[in-house]
Every structure is written in structure tokens, then in C-alpha cells.
Structure 1
Amino acid sequence: MIREATKADFAAFWPCFSRIIKAQETYAFDAEMSCEQAYQLWCGTALKCYVYVQDDLILGTYYLKANAQGPSSHICNCGYMVDERARGKGVARQLCEHSQKVAVELGFNAMQFNSVVSTNEIAIQLWKKLGYQIIGTIPLAYKHGKLGYVDSYIMHKQLTQK
């Protein structure tokens, strides 16, 4: 089940969130941020924040927010995290599909991911299957925890024909 996140939901997901940012393989977040700082970044600045719940466990989360303001406010941005116990089970796909529906309901007509780490091949494959295209490469944009500097991609999908 996917539902809007509460602060308690985020706190329950925090151990997974913390492991992901400490690995420095997919998110350009400060690895030493606190749970409260992470909550403000992930949920506090978002228009919407959701969690994927199964058997009372928070197995994934996403945020949705405008990617820019003014003349570009019709494009949204999302970020997704999935607990390692749930990877490969369709959770990220369900979260992304849900986010696209919510985005359209909120009046957005496109979705853009600003920095998909080029070594995150599973996510890139999924986003492509869901209709996203790589529209740009940012050379050496991400300092990977194991591989050093790697490229990041900007990915985009048109959601409506407005």
C-alpha cells in the first residue's frame, strides 16, 4: 500500500535512508545528516511525500516537488528510496507509477530527475522502461563512494500533452 508519509513513517525508514546516504552511491546528500535534517530535506521541502507499506514495514518512500518555479513550474521532480529487503520486487516501479499519477493530479505535465548517478544501472533501466529519457549528461558530477567521480544523467518524461 502506498500512502502519504508521516513523520513517524520517516523515522521508521530512517535506518534505511541513513545506510543509503552513507554508501554515497546514489544520492548527493550529506552522509552525516541527522534524521531531522533528512526529514526536512525529503519531506519538509516536498509538495507530497509518500511511503510504501507492507506488513507494517516501511519499504520505500518518495517525494514530489516542483523542479523549478515560474515558467517552468509545470515540471516536477521526484526522488525514490527502497529498502534493500524490498529491492527487485517492484516497489520502485509502483512508487514511480504512483508519483506520475499524483504529479498529473497536481497539475504537472512532465517529470525530471536532475541527477541519476550513471552507475545506478538498475534505476536507469527501470526509468527507461517507464518512458524516461536521458536528456543530458553531467560529466563527473558525482563522487561515488567506491568508484570516485562518475557522470550523472538528467532524465525526463512528458506526462501530459499540455
Structure 2
Amino acid sequence: MRIREFTESDWAQVWPIVEDVVTAGETFPYDPAWPAEVAYDVWVERPPGRTVVADDDGRVLGTAKMGTNRPGPGAHVATASFMVAAGARGRGVGRALTEYALDWARRRGYAAMQFNAVVETNEAAVELYRRLGFAVIGTVPEAFAHPRLGRVGLHVMHRPL
């Protein structure tokens, strides 16, 4: 598996991943009614941000987007988001994408990385981020409407670079 820059032709494989994750409604605060065009505009970062895919011999296993968390006085903090295909979960794809994003941010001189909305019941992601040095610095209670569990919290997670 290699992490490489997203190309327009990747959207045919990335869109089903995005659609599956968003439709499940358990980990991303995106609207499941979005058509592919809207999802593309939200997911694909424009420079100086970056969107990448985890590619296994032409098959996209996951995707990530990264960029500046906030403009102006907050521009020294990066952010990133990750989605992994259902059949590729538990195989290190999410970890590889997260490590790539951390390295990307470090090389660009960001001082930290912050995740603004990690669903607290997404235990695999929370644990991965903790293992990679992130800490939960706050939780917005009942900020996410989980389809099975009702309203759950959204963690803000942070790590210095």
C-alpha cells in the first residue's frame, strides 16, 4: 500500500467510500443526502491543503484530507479527516493515512494538529489517535446524532507537532 496524492480519476473509487461512511451516519457529521458533487467539494481539499488516497495496486483502500484548521491567527494548526473502505478496516490503512497527515503537517511547519469533531463512540479512531499522541482536550456533549445511540459527544483532539 502506498499513500499518494488524489487525482480526479480516483473519485470513482473514493466516492463509494465517502458515501458508505456518511450514509452509515456513525462517524462523520456530513449530510447523507449530499450528492456526489457536493461531497467532492467538501472532501477534496484545494491547495495549499491536500487530499490523498491509500492505494493498493490501483485499488483505493482509504482517503484523507488535510489542511489548515483555521485561517489567520489560527493558521499554525493543521487538521485532517480520514475515511477507510469497509473491507480495508483493521488493516493499518487509517494509521498509515494519519501518520502521513502528521508528517505532511510537520514538513509544512504547523505547530500542532487538531481534530474538531471525533465522534466519541468511534472507539477505533479515538484509540488510534491516542496511540499517535493526540489527547482529548474537550468534548461537546450530545453534539452528534448517532443513528443507534442517540446524541453522543464530539471530541476535540489535539497534538503538538
TM tier, smaller: over 0.9
Q: 1:70 aligns with which of 69, 72, 76?
A: 72
1:35 matched residue in structure 2 = 36
Aligned residue type for 1:55: D
Aligned to 1:57: 59
* Contact kept in structure 1, 2:64 and 2:81, CA below 8 Å: yes
| Partner residue in 2 for 1:124 | 126
Q: Deviations over 1:50-76 (max 9, x none)?
A: 000002110010001111111110001
Residues 63, 78 of structure 1: 8 Å contact kept? yes
Aligned to 2:93: 91
- The one-letter code sitting in structure 1 at the alignment partner of 2:13 is A
1:89-128 CA distance string (max 9 Å, x none): 1111110101111111222120000010010001100000
Residue 105 (structure 1) aligned to one of 104, 107, 120: 107
What is the root-mean-square deviation in Å for CA atoms of aligned residues? 1.1
Match of 1:15 in 2: 16
Distance in 2 (CA, whole Å) between partners of 1:44 and 1:88 is 26
2:81 pairs with one of 79, 82, 88: 79
Name the aligned partner's letter for residue 87 of structure 2: R
What amino acid sits opposite 2:40 in the alignment? Y
TM superposition outliers: structure 1 runs of 4+ over 2 Å: none
Count residues in correspondence: 159
Please report how far the alpha carbon of residue 45 of structure 1 lies from its aligned counterpart in structure 2 after TM superposition. Answer: 4.8
Give TM-score scaled by structure 1 length. Answer: 0.94
Gaps of 5+ in 2: none
Deviation by residue 1:24-64 (Cα, 9 ceiling, x = unmatched): 10000010111111111011456100000002110010001
Q: Percent identity, aligned pairs only?
A: 40
For structure 1, the residue ranges without an aligned partner over 5 or more in a row are none
Distance 1:11 1:56 in 2: 12
Aligned 8 A contact 2:17 2:62 in 1:
no
Specify the SS of the correspondent of 2:118: strand
